Amino acid sequence: MALPSTIHRVVVQLSHVDRGIYETLQATLARHPSETTQRLVLRLLAYAICFEPELSFSKGICAGDEPDLWSKGPDGRVKLWIEVGTPEPERLLKASRHAEHVVLLASGPNRFRWDELYRGKLADAANIQVIGVDYAFISQVATEVERTIVWELTITGGSLYLTSAGQTHETALESLTGAPTPDRRFPR
């Protein structure tokens, strides 16, 4: 018998100063048994960093052909495709042919090796943006994850400040490739 998903209820007080967004985000997330807590943290950060009203979580790991998050227009076309971790560059290039804008929140124990091998392959795709997030930061925040997650998150000047379980953490959001479009500045 397969293990059930773990349900997390999330509240994020978001102050994205760079984009002028001040919202209270609420979500219910299912974490697949094969998904690490670090990956869950990355998905939540991607949701906050790239927030727009139409943004939603996809089936994720359960549906290999879907992104981690996406935003669709009224016609059903994908406006924003968001991946987390260190996926194969071919996956991002394929997504860039079907979505207006593709964002990768790159983090993981092998991220710097991934940068060396694959970042150059993405440089020519004008609609792909790669944002690097320190894996030590992700791992530290992951140790504080409970079934109910309450964060205060401020993004300003390319830095991210997160308060969780009474602890405040800080990290830089590195713009690794791709210029953000005027209406999508992740980070600025």
Which residues, at least 6 apart from 120, have a Cβ–Cβ distance to it below 8 Å? none
The pLDDT tens digits for 93-143 are: 999 999 999 999 999 999 999 999 998 888 888 899 999 999 999 999 999
- pLDDT score, position 167: 94
pTM above 0.85, yes or no: yes
- pLDDT score, position 182: 46
Mean pLDDT along residues 13-31: 95
For the record, the structure tokens of 119 come out as 């970042």
Rounded distance between C-alpha atoms, residue 35 and residue 29, angstroms:
12
Residue type, 40: L
Domain boundaries, the chain: 6-177
Whether residue 42 is predicted with pLDDT greater than 90 in this model: the reply is yes
Are 68 and 81 within 8 A, CB to CB?
no
Are 173 and 133 within 8 A, CB to CB?
yes
Rounded distance between C-alpha atoms, residue 26 and residue 177, angstroms:
30
> What does the CA dihedral 159, 85, 51, 7 come to, rounded to 10 degrees?
-120
Residue matched to tokens 């071919």: 90
**Domain covering 6-177 in this structure, CATH number:** 3.10.640.10
Residue 23 backbone dihedrals phi, psi, to 5 degrees: -140, 155
Whether residue 179 is predicted with pLDDT greater than 90 in this model: the reply is no
Mean pLDDT along residues 144-154: 97
- pLDDT score, position 63: 58
Whether residue 181 is predicted with pLDDT greater than 60 in this model: the reply is no
For the record, the structure tokens of 59 come out as 């089936």
Rounded distance between C-alpha atoms, residue 37 and residue 138, angstroms:
9
Are 25 and 150 within 8 A, CB to CB?
no
